[in-house]
Structure 1
Amino acid sequence: MTLSVDDEFNVTYITLGGYVEMGKYRYFYFSIMLTVYILTICFNCTIVYLIWIHKNLHEPMYVFIAALLLNSIVYNTAMYPKMLSDFLSEEQLISYSACLFQFFVYYTLSASDFFLLSAMSYDRYVAICKPLRYAAIMRRSTVTTILVLAWLVPAGEMAVSVILVTNSKLCNSALRALFCNNSLYKLFCESSRALSVFDVLALLSMALFPLLFILFTYTRILIISYRSGRNVRKKAAQTCLPHLIVLICFSSLCGYDVIVIRLGSDSDFMTTLQAFLYYPLLNPVIYGLKVKEISKHLKKLLCEAKVM
């Protein structure tokens, strides 16, 4: 297949072929996706708003939760409008530059989520295993530094990856996916050794190492909790369970992206669609219902809304 090129502007367009499986159900999928998009933005913004206005939620754990939800807001805002328009379009096209932007946003925010989940696990480790030193360790300056690194480090690494991708020659314009993810590599004429090496290093630094760190901290929490009294175990379960649920679901999606897509298989329409349906709503629901202080303020807000 030849590339579609606009000679005047020298823009290469890529066909997103993952939508062919939706058939006559395009309007049904569009309605579901639009509903999920609106609910996701509303739920995430509500939780962030509650954390912002209530001073008792200005603690490191809640700040990291707010940052994670902000990532979700940016991610959905960058990805959903294009997907929604593609559901209603006869031909799903995206410019190469816009495709690279999607690629950058998707993996930058995914890596940032891993860093933020690592920060949450460390915060819980200090709170449960070193409670007397918590205030000294988790200072405001420490939290600010963690947040800056959680956004800048993935952005920097993905910027390098995008630069390497940009220099690769395209021999195909048909991308069998709903958006520009790792499937993009299948469009290149030949694989780049430099890009492959860098991707492995990026995967290690932005996903595997943070995941191992999270597993280490939660293992330490589990050991300390087991050795301590019932109250400590209860506190550990209440504060760590929401993070673990989010971590397991998020790691599963990332594993699918790396193992299934990067290693040669095409993106499955229904699997990808379910990921866009379930995970965006997972974070605000889990943190809104399972984190006690946030849940308390959320119930109060809902009661006030009913009165009005």
Structure 2
Amino acid sequence: MNMIMDNVSLITVLSLSGLNEVTNYRVVLFTSTLLCYCLILTINCALILTIFLDKNLHEPMYILLCCLCINGIYGTTGFYPKFLLDLLSSSHIISYNGCLVQAFVMFSFACSDLSILSVMSYDRYLAICRPLRYHRYMNKHRLSLLVFFSWLIPFSFMAVCIILTSRLTLCSDKIQRLYCVNWVIVLLACPSNNTTPNSIVVYLTILVYVFHGLLIVWSYMYLVRTCRGSMENRKKFMQTCVPHLTCMLIFLSTVVFDIMYMHFGSKNIAQSLKNFIAIVFLIISPIMNPVIYGFKLTKVRNKIIFYLNVYRHMKMMMDNISLITVFSLSGLNEITNYRVVLFSSTLLYYCLILTINCALILTIVLDKSLHEPMYFLLCCLCINGLYGTTGFYPKFLLDLLSSSHIISYNGCLMQAFVMFSFACSDLSILSVMAYDRYLAICRPLHYYRFMNKLRLSLLVCFSWLIPFSFHAVLITLTSRLTLCSAQIQRLYCVNWVIVLLACPANNTTPSSIVVYITLLVYIFHGLLIIWSYIYLVRTCQGSMENRKKFMQTCVPHLTCMLTFMSTVFFDIMYMHFGSKNIAQSLKNLISIVFMIISPIMNPLIYGFKLTKVRNKILFYLHVYRK
């Protein structure tokens, strides 16, 4: 019996078969889903920020609305990122642990939404039916407890459900949905499993939320009775209760519809209709909640309109005050005599960077034997190199052909964004590569468990997302400054140089804070690299095979990393502490050295040092010659 159970419980990956019929219109679906998710994030974040920034909205009803929006972001984040990855992938799989986490998020999101809506109905009952006792019963302490339990109860129930589900032995790995649901996982359990505890917890959960429903019905019975006899109360009801009632009915109808279909629906209907039924509550509620409240609640609507008007007014003021719309890049003033030579050599060098990086990217993409984490990360490093150099070389080449070396204000901010995000993304990817080499050499048996496709995708995503987010904040802060000078003594725009051009009246403290936070984050990246290499060196000392691996894969990575870090560090140190009396040509070289060495050294070092890559490049060259 034990042997049979060991053979059955080998399922560690589950297959989501809901996307099997959408391969023909995957691109359209990906685009529309991404837009929908961005819209959800934008609308909910806008409402959260509106409530958070305005002290007049720090009242129970608006705090509960804020919690509803936060819960909406939490729930949709449990579905949309994984769904978008599945649309880009040919295999729609999820790890068993990942499936349990997603089931936890989806269930707790739905139940928390209902809990918060119940508290909101109780709040409206007190505000309209017991106005004199409202602040006594709905004080800060009680409101905090109600919100706390609105999340604690569903989280506790689902934690118990997930623990009970994780103890089951599964006999199938096919989930005919777009995402994981706890009860669907339970249905995959072998007949010998005892699922009674799971059923008991589900029935208890249903009882608890039936009580929530009765509380809402009871609240609205009193609300309707109270509002019938007073015009003022009817006005309050229309302004605050109708949005709440609309949101609640939309949410309950979509969730109940999905649950009823999951338990009693026909299996013969089209998969596309099944998919729509499964995700309708993840589309409608997260958008409708903030939209209905944003347009219906007078205070919220007025504040949103107020902030939009302030933004327009500030933009008009900035357009009037900041007459500087064009910057002058004075780094090229001393090289007019040998402009043609410099243009020719720069163009050839840029073409060389494009050729070598594209060649390495194509080699890795075309050869399935190179579809491994290390080579995928190398591919990302080359893509990032192309992204960074394209932010500098085309503009630099145009400046060499022109007599006036100018750049628009928006163009300057864009170039500053590209240069910063390129440098930080390079360091992030190099950190992930260090972690990858640590796992491959120090933890070889656990390598594919820790460095699976999902985790690798997330690591790469965050390698670009973190620097892009930091610099988006920096650029936004910089764009709010009023500038008193238009002279940039460099070959390209850098955010900190633009900040230094701001008038003394400007407050540049927020920019400094974000810069220091960014430095802390990338110091942590550096510590991660050091930690990885300490373990790598220690592991490789006792084994000839590990030393060979170290020389083949870690030495190229270490060379690229040290080259990149030394050039970037040199430029940053000069920018902050360098002498202003040195020749402009030397200043220029210092500022672009990391744009010259790293983008060409990374593919060259890896191309010649990594045996697999070198052999494949030689093979493709040999095929091309034939």
Task: Give 1:229-308 correspondences, 5 Å limit.
Answer: 229-263=230-264, 268-307=274-313, 308=315
- Please state whether the residue corresponding to 1:170 is helix, strand or coil: coil
Compute the displacement of 1:83 (Å): 0.5
Task: Give 1:188-199 correspondences, 5 Å limit.
Answer: 188-190=189-191, 192-199=195-202
Bigger shift: residues 268-277 or 104-113: 268-277
Pair 1:273–1:162, CA change in 2 (3 A)? closer
* AA matched with 1:209: F
Show the counterpart of 2:17. Answer: 17
| Maintained 8 Å contact 1:161/1:198 | yes
Post-superposition Cα deviations, 1:152-176, rounded to whole Å, max 9, x if no partner, equal 1111111001011111110110100
Show the counterpart of 2:27. Answer: 27
Counterpart Cα distance in 2 of 1:199 and 1:273? 21
2:162 corresponds to 1:162:
yes
Bigger shift: residues 158-167 or 296-305: 296-305
Show the counterpart of 1:201. Answer: 204
Compute the displacement of 1:78 (Å): 2.4
Post-superposition Cα deviations, 1:109-153, rounded to whole Å, max 9, x if no partner, equal 211111111110001000000101111111100001111111111
TM-score normalised per structure 2: 0.46
Compute the displacement of 1:232 (Å): 1.4
Counterpart Cα distance in 2 of 1:203 and 1:61? 26
- Please state whether the residue corresponding to 1:172 is helix, strand or coil: coil
TM-score normalised per structure 1: 0.92
| Maintained 8 Å contact 1:37/1:80 | yes
Compute the displacement of 1:264 (Å): 6.2
| Maintained 8 Å contact 1:164/1:195 | yes
Pair 1:45–1:251, CA change in 2 (3 A)? same
Show the counterpart of 1:222. Answer: 224
Counterpart Cα distance in 1 of 2:232 and 2:285? 32
| Maintained 8 Å contact 1:246/1:283 | yes
| Maintained 8 Å contact 2:76/2:282 | no
* AA matched with 1:198: V
Task: Give 1:108-187 correspondences, 5 Å limit.
Answer: 108-181=108-181, 182-187=183-188
* AA matched with 2:147: L
Compute the displacement of 1:303 (Å): 2.1
Pair 1:219–1:100, CA change in 2 (3 A)? same
Bigger shift: residues 287-296 or 184-193: 184-193
Show the counterpart of 1:100. Answer: 100
Post-superposition Cα deviations, 1:11-63, rounded to whole Å, max 9, x if no partner, equal 70000001113231111111111001111111111101111111111100001
How many residue pairs are counted as aligned between the two chains? 298
Counterpart Cα distance in 2 of 1:248 and 1:125? 17
Compute the displacement of 1:272 (Å): 2.7
- Structure 2: give runs of 5+ residues left out of the alignment: 1-6, 316-626
| Maintained 8 Å contact 1:183/1:262 | no
Post-superposition Cα deviations, 1:161-208, rounded to whole Å, max 9, x if no partner, equal 101111111011010000002322331123611111211111221x22
Counterpart Cα distance in 1 of 2:188 and 2:37? 29
Higher relative contact order (CA 8 A, sep 6+): 1
Task: Give 1:73-88 correspondences, 5 Å limit.
Answer: 73-88=73-88
- Please state whether the residue corresponding to 1:262 is helix, strand or coil: helix
* AA matched with 2:305: K
- Please state whether the residue corresponding to 1:159 is helix, strand or coil: helix
- Please state whether the residue corresponding to 2:22 is helix, strand or coil: helix
Counterpart Cα distance in 2 of 1:274 and 1:140? 35
| Maintained 8 Å contact 2:75/2:109 | yes
Bigger shift: residues 80-89 or 187-196: 187-196
Compute the displacement of 1:302 (Å): 1.9
Counterpart Cα distance in 2 of 1:22 and 1:187? 24
- Structure 1: give runs of 5+ residues left out of the alignment: 1-6
* AA matched with 1:141: H
* AA matched with 1:305: Y
* AA matched with 2:214: L
Show the counterpart of 1:3. Answer: none
